[in-house]
Chain A
Amino acid sequence: MADKKLMKGNEALAEAMIRAGCDAYFGYPITPQSEVLEYLAREATNRTGMVVLQAESEVAAVNMIYGAAGAGARVMTTSSSPGMSLMMEGVSYIASAELPCLFANVNRGGPGLGTIQPSQADYFQSVKGGGHGDYKMFVLAPSSVQEMVDFVKLGFDVADKYRTPVMILADGAIGQMMEKVVLFEQMPRPDKNAKTWATTGRADRPVRNYITSLHIQAEKMEEINMRLQAKYRDMEENEVRYQAIDIDDADYILTGFGLGARIAMRAMEMGREKGYKIGLIRPITLFPFPTKIFEEVGSKVKGILDVEMNCGQMVEDVRLSVEGRCPVKFYGRTGGVIPSPEEILEKFEEYFIK
């Protein structure tokens, strides 16, 4: 029988981490995701022998992730916006060294120390860099507690497949709310020796495994960049995920990611009741971005309204995909304020109906 539970997003994420056979978690507490470390500290080590360590700072935590991932371990950390900023140097190193690992950012209002309420203002940080250099993270945006579970498993798989850091970009509300979840079965912790590139201390290999992000020769650095770019093109080809609802007969499209999309979905339902033919597209992977579906609907619909809990970030990618085929409008609340479905519908009518 499926293991069905009512769980908080943060706790579901932690439980999924244990069940996915995670070897180690290094983190530093920050609202609104502190339950992750609390849950793991209580549950993890006894059940799977997983290492759970509270580091002295986010900078230390991310470098522990770097080291453990290099040694072939399945590793994860979580943080929230200001903490994630501190980790960004490490993320760039990890991307360069091509190490698989999983991050989750339970986004809160910024910039600066900001607020502890939910926000989606770290889209740019997650999708467009954050750290230095030409790198990408594979970015998943959960919109339910169930996806907090599912994306841990998917995230580890993608990380291993492409040897790349993966980001789960959630928000404070998804982390704090409870919903019904179906949990997957406990998986064994993976065999470190299966990762032939990892520095596992084996002496019987013909070549010495060496992990670094420093390459003095420009040509070598360019070669590595080309390899990374090829990987990102592969992801764009094979790993795009999105959810589309009622787009076939739609005159208009509402879009958004994560919690923003859930609220937009309600606005869509309300709009449909009033007779507006509204569909919804929810990008699930923020990188690689679901460009094609926006290209397609762009030439069919009269307009797209993008809803985010920020001042307009994903909307840039929507516009780049639509390439002027139809008007793309934006509505957002920010700093921890959550837009209401009524507000969204009002904006929709203001832009497209009146």
Chain B
Amino acid sequence: MTHESIFSGFGGQGVLTMGMLLGYAGIIEDKEVTWMPSYGPEMRGGTANCITIVSDKLISSPIISTFDTVVALNQPSVDKFEEKVRVGGNMIFDVANIINVPTRKDINIYAVPGSDISIKLKNTKVLNMIMLGAFIGITDIIKVETIWKALEQVLPERYHKLIPLNQEAFMAGMDAVKK
């Protein structure tokens, strides 16, 4: 199994953290992982993204130009990466932030009400966890329990009280794509 994905959105939406959590979880399941962030000028105000590859075998290039799955949290990301989804791949996006929706017929398109769910959970900061839940719900490349373990590693101890909220958000995202 090799899954090549990109998480993309505005700086501050937590897209780098989404990939990082997936990466930590990959390590816990003893897989190979590469996480390549955009760190250039685009981080200062525009879109941020990270290419995250999880695989059972050694990964050749950490930088690729087409993806099995794109997770887009804003319009520029949908515009930029819709054409980069491989045929039969997945385009997952947050409905609330997108006006021009993806239109390709040769990929699986998932419109997730991420922002709406985050408002229901009374914390818009967990949008990334909701979308990560949707990602795992669709791709099934990592076990949910492993994501919980990764959360404990990524979050400093003083934020561990926030883990239940993050778990709730993740599960809500997962449910949204399973309906």
Q: Which of A116, A172, A263 contacts B61 (CB 8 A)?
A: A263
Distance A331 CA – B26 CA, assembled complex (angstroms): 34
Q: Are B32 and A180 in contact (CB under 8 A)?
A: yes
Q: Are B62 and A262 in contact (CB under 8 A)?
A: yes
Distance A340 CA – B67 CA, assembled complex (angstroms): 13
Q: Are A6 and B64 in contact (CB under 8 A)?
A: no
By beta carbon, the residue of chain A nearest B24 is A6
Interface size on A, as a range, is 20 to 34
Distance A340 CA – B33 CA, assembled complex (angstroms): 19
Distance A213 CA – B24 CA, assembled complex (angstroms): 49
Q: Are B65 and A342 in contact (CB under 8 A)?
A: yes
By beta carbon, the residue of chain B nearest A177 is B36
Q: Which of B24, B35, B40 contacts A177 (CB 8 A)?
A: B35
**A297 located at the interface, meaning its Cβ lies under 8 Å from any Cβ of chain B in the complex:** no
Q: Are A116 and B63 in contact (CB under 8 A)?
A: no
Q: Are B61 and A178 in contact (CB under 8 A)?
A: no
Q: Are B62 and A177 in contact (CB under 8 A)?
A: yes
Q: How far is the CB of B172 from chain A (nearest CB, A)?
A: 26
**A72 located at the interface, meaning its Cβ lies under 8 Å from any Cβ of chain B in the complex:** no
**A117 located at the interface, meaning its Cβ lies under 8 Å from any Cβ of chain B in the complex:** yes
B-chain residues with CB within 8 Å of residue A178 when the two chains form the complex: 20, 23, 33-35
Within 8 A of A (CB), among B29-75: 32-37, 39-41, 59-66
**B119 located at the interface, meaning its Cβ lies under 8 Å from any Cβ of chain A in the complex:** no
B-chain residues with CB within 8 Å of residue A32 when the two chains form the complex: 39
Q: How far is the CB of B26 from chain A (nearest CB, A)?
A: 8
Distance A115 CA – B61 CA, assembled complex (angstroms): 22
B-chain residues with CB within 8 Å of residue A268 when the two chains form the complex: 60
Q: What are 19 pairs between A and B in contact, CB < 8 Å? A: A6-B20, A6-B24, A6-B27, A6-B35, A32-B39, A116-B40, A176-B39, A178-B34, A178-B35, A179-B35, A179-B59, A179-B62, A180-B27, A259-B62, A263-B63, A266-B60, A266-B61, A338-B63, A340-B63
Q: Given known contacts A176-B39, A177-B36, A179-B33, what 8 new A-B pairs fall within 8 Å (CB)?
A: A6-B24, A6-B26, A6-B35, A116-B39, A177-B34, A177-B35, A178-B20, A266-B60
